[in-house]
Amino acid sequence: MMQRLSSTTTTTTTRSALLRYGGGALRRDVLAPISSSHLTAKSQVGESDTKAARWFSIMSSDRSTFDSSNLKRDLFFGKRYESTAAESSSSAAAERYEYQAEVSRLMDLIVNSLYSNKEVFLRELISNASDALDKLRFLSVTEPGLLKEAVDFDIRIQADKDNGIISITDTGIGMTRQELVDCLGTIAQSGTAKFLKALKDSKDAGGDNNLIGQFGVGFYSAFLVSDRVVVSTKSPKSDKQYVWEGEANASSYTISEETDPEKLIPRGTRLTLDDKGFAHPERIEKLVKNYSQFVSFPIYTWQEKGYTKEVEVDEDTAEDKKDDQDDKTEKKKKTKTVVERYWDWELTNDTQPIWLRNPKEVTKEEYNEFYKKTFNEYLEPLASSHFTTEGEVEFRSILYVPAFAPSGKDDIINPKTKNIRLFVKRVFISDDFDGELFPRYLSFVKGVVDSNDLPLNVSREILQESRIVRIMRKRLVRKAFDMILGISMSENKEDYEKFWENFGKHLKLGCIEDRENHKRIAPLLRFFSSQSDEELISLDEYVENMKPDQKDIYYIAADSVTSAKNTPFLEKLAEKDLEVLFLVDPIDEVAIQNLKSYKEKNFVDISKEDLDLGDKNEEKEKEMKQEFGQTCDWIKKRLGDKVASVQISNRLSSSPCVLVSGKFGWSANMERLMKAQSMGDASSLEFMRSRRVFEINPDHSIIRNLDDAFKTNPDDEDALRAIDLLYDAALVSSGFTPDNPAQLGGKIYEMMGMALTGKWSTPGQFQSTVTQPHTPETLEAEVVEPTEAGGQK
């Protein structure tokens, strides 16, 4: 069975180890040719040399011909070197082998159906090279002779866009001829069966078929981008170098001995791919930095570079027209700056994985610099957390809390923010997650996670079903909460104010979606209150300020702090000096309802019926019901189905009445939110509205006047209209929206007309009206006519 090798798989057999084949690169000062093109270049090879000349990356592999002065000349005068694929044929006869049947099927699947993102081929092949280097380093401890060729441990990638060739070379363990047959021509039946079953399950689930690498088939990802792959490899245990060549649609492959001296490598493996799509130096460099930035071995890419120099330019002909005196003056030669181009190796993975270091040795500046570089940020984070978890699941991670939310703040809805970068053995795997590592309410947290326990290619199905991932998620969430709690406890309160302004809604969403972590979320919440002087307070601060006999945490939901402060529900609590939380965000009420309690204190909505302020007087309540019971029934009869009942209130002191929600009904704030839902259920809205309770204040003059009106004449139209207007006024003051605002306006105008009649009449008009009974005829002519005329104006 083919499987990926790493430094941890130290007990595997040589054959299994060599699956992640090694590769060869020459000494740092001697680079092997990667071209098999035969070009005529007399000026570079020599005038007398009439044979076809072979071109090299930088210099000849023949150490005797190496001249540092020539190298300097070639580099700094912009020699353009060709690099094409190594010829697969050699003087030795190639032997043809048939693929195992499962391999042919597997290659067809890889080429035609597996990957939608083909660029991961480079990640796979670099991982193979890294594993081969790891294996050689481990084996060399007990077999020092394996390192008889003094070459560095590195990986080199060269892209030739002119010829469409990619070359990947490493100096790892390499392979013998038999190992080429065993590792690249066959796959253990069990491994193939598992792979094909996983592929079928993934397709049936409609998931991402990102499975290469889980079952030891990472090498075949080369056929994603290349129809023809050449593997030239030399094991330090063998004196011979072999060439494996295969094509994507072929049923066989060839193996031959390499006899061309110019293609020999001291140790390792070189892959040559025919691909025009990815064979661009800039693209290769970008892919290496994206996927393999933190591979433990240096990765060099072949890049075009330049340097500036001054060169002489021709004199301007206008200079010839200068006078004789100027001619006698010594002229300075004119120069200009030009850029000379040349090609050379460049270290591409120069950033070391900071998470592998001891947190005590990493400075705050290093954490901040890593954050800015990794996530393209320009502001420092509010906090960071660097930790390692051990036990049944081991992984390392660095998490950050950004200073600001992204523009638009849409990540609370869309969890796919690409803020968490998952690495497996320092190889970047993905940043495209949908809640597998972090819940969406923590989607603002940024960071890197590096695990050795996950397969190199992690499909969406594996992330969702893996027990390892579930354990990682739980620990990451806890660490994120610890980090946020640290900000809240900081002496610099401005940091948490900034955090709450940007990410407070995320935590409130967590109250709704993550019941398991309520105890961690609740201490982080902040609200305005009736006693906080427009400053946010925590639930801990509220509990500390509670009265000794206070059992509950009181709150009211409103559209603003101003509305909450002026609500009639607050009157009695303000008199008793009881603090009330103001929930002014649309999500606040739902969040608090999901919390239900905090430190054994229940949350109580003061706009709901049956409010208990701890001062019940049963005798007084009984007297009030006897005195106003019939009046309540009279008002209920007038209001009909608008209210569920009419009761005596214990929460009012200065207002005549208030409209409260039923115990299980919607508050005014919730009703407003439900109305805003375009797909809301109208029948549910009507049912919840019918549960309202109309509470009256028996100590208010308006209520007492209505009581007198009921006892005098229950059918008095003015009294009945007063009840209607009183209900509408309570509806507005309690935060509800009237069904017919225009009708409410008409009622108000009518009452104003009745109240203001005759109040601002002129003294003459008032005197005429008083004396009218004594001189009716005269006064009628004098008073009425002007009034009628005035009415026509």
- Annotated binding-site residues for ATP read 124, 128, 170, 175, 190-191, 214-219, 269, 460
User: What tokens were used for 186?
Assistant: 């066959």
- Buried b / exposed e along 264-284 (16+ C-beta atoms within 10 A): bbbbbbbbbbbbeebbebeeb
Question: If DSSP codes are grouped into helix, strand and coil, which group holds residue 388?
Answer: strand
d(CA 225, CA 586): 51
Round to whole Å and give the CA distance between 703 and 628.
9
**Could you tell me if 231 and 88 are in contact, meaning their C-beta atoms sit under 8 angstroms apart?**
no
List the one residue out of 551, 525, 549, 556 whose CA is nearest residue 539: 525
Contacts of 325 (CB under 8 A, 6+ apart): none
Token digits for 37?
């093109």
CA distance 186 to 471: 36
**Which DSSP string do the residues of 502-556 spell out, in sequence order?**
HHHHHHHHHHHH-GGGHHHHGGG-EEEETTSTT--EEHHHHHHTS-TT--EEEEE
User: Measuring CA to CA, how many Å separate 632 from each of 584, 698, 728?
Assistant: 33, 10, 17
Residue 345 Cα distances to 80, 129, 152, angstroms: 14, 18, 14
The torsion angles phi and psi of 290, rounded to 5 degrees, stand at -80, -45
Count the Cβ atoms, other than its own, within 10 Å of residue 95. 12
Closest CA to 336 of 317, 315, 366, 352: 315
Strands 228-234 and 241-247: antiparallel
CA 557, CA 593: separation in Å to the nearest integer? 11
Binding site listing: 124, 128, 170, 175, 190-191, 214-219, 269, 460
d(CA 397, CA 447): 7
Rounded-to-5 percentages of helix, strand, coil across the chain: 45, 20, 40
Q: How many helices (H) and strands (E) does the chain have?
A: 26, 25
CA 19 to CA 488: how far, in whole Å? 51
Query: For residue 393, which amino acid is it?
Result: V
Phi, psi of 552 (to 5 degrees): -125, 165
What CA–CA distance (Å, rounded) separates 540 from 488? 12
- d(Cα 181, Cα 175) in Å, to the nearest integer? 10
Contacts of 417 (CB under 8 A, 6+ apart): 406, 411, 443, 444
Dmax (CA) of the chain: 146
Q: Mapping DSSP to helix (H, G, I), strand (E, B) and coil, where does residue 312 land?
A: strand
Tell me which amino acid residue 622 is.
K
Q: Residue 524: which residues within 8 A CB-CB, separation 6 or more?
A: 481, 484, 485, 488, 507, 538
DSSP 15-73: HHHTTS-------TT-PPP----EE--HHHH-TT--SPEEP-SSS-S-GGG--HHHHHH
